[in-house]
Amino acid sequence: MLKIKNLYTAYGRILVLKNVSLHVDRGEIVCLIGANGAGKTTLLLTVSGLVSAREGEIFFEGVPIHHLAPHQIVRLGISQVPEGRQIFAPLTVRENLELGAYHRWRQEGKRAVLADLEEVYRLFPRLKEREKQLAGTLSGGEQQMLAIGRAFMARPKLLLLDEPSLGLAPKLVDFIMEKILELNRQGLTILIVEQNARRALEIAHRGYVLETGRIVLQGSAQELALDEDVRRAYLGRD
């Protein structure tokens, strides 16, 4: 579904991604693990078109997307849940969710969008309770639910998740991970970036390890979880 070939991304003269190749098949959860600053966020931003690739190719369902604008990439079916969530704080929960579907209103109509709104509320009843509340007043966990819900409202085929566990209490991390699994069981393909490698490997089918911009290891989640280097570097603590 997603194929990245020999990707190089740089900020000015600083090369951040170096010859990265990876793929995500339909129906998979693939995780990308790596230390702070390894380039994980940059990789997601390059796929979303928010940062341009210096070299290399990205294909989504066979279509080259590395030259497309972010809004065109969203329309093809890729949605990103950004790190730090970046919800619209002065808008209500419901307005945030509706904005997630902004490009669908005209084409698909109100009924389709409202049905998906109900689906988000079924997944996250807390958002229904807080429907009219300003998003900026939500707790960290609720904001993460809202960010995932908003990405879902675009009805993506591929969801890019940047550090969904960041800053959340362990119980909430369990809850969010369970919801990610549920979305995957419903057919959504997911590329998840995590510093919390243990949690990511628990839910993923396969994974890649990124170190200073290069993929140094790849394998099934089980293989990675048993790998000595991964254990030493990334699974030391929860």
Note the residues at the interface with ligand ATP (CB under 6 A).
Answer: 11, 14, 16, 34, 36-42, 83, 195
- Toward ligand ATP, which CB reaches closer, 82 or 100? 82
Cα 169 from chain centre: 19
Classify strands 78-81 and 14-24 as parallel, antiparallel or unpaired. unpaired
CB of 52 to ligand ATP, least distance (A): 12
- Toward ligand ATP, which CB reaches closer, 127 or 215? 215
- Toward ligand ATP, which CB reaches closer, 14 or 111? 14
CB of 92 to ligand ATP, least distance (A): 29
- Toward ligand ATP, which CB reaches closer, 91 or 166? 166
CB of 223 to ligand ATP, least distance (A): 22
CA 45 to CA 39: how far, in whole Å? 10
- Toward ligand ATP, which CB reaches closer, 124 or 207? 207
CA 47 to CA 79: how far, in whole Å? 10
CA 32 to CA 70: how far, in whole Å? 21
> Environment class of residue 135 by beta-carbon count within 10 Å: exposed (0-12), middle (13-18) or buried (19+)?
buried
CB of 49 to ligand ATP, least distance (A): 15
Q: Is 99 helix (H, G, I), strand (E, B) or coil?
A: helix
Is the CB of residue 17 less than 8 Å from the CB of residue 213?
Answer: yes
CA 127 to CA 147: how far, in whole Å? 11
CB of 98 to ligand ATP, least distance (A): 29
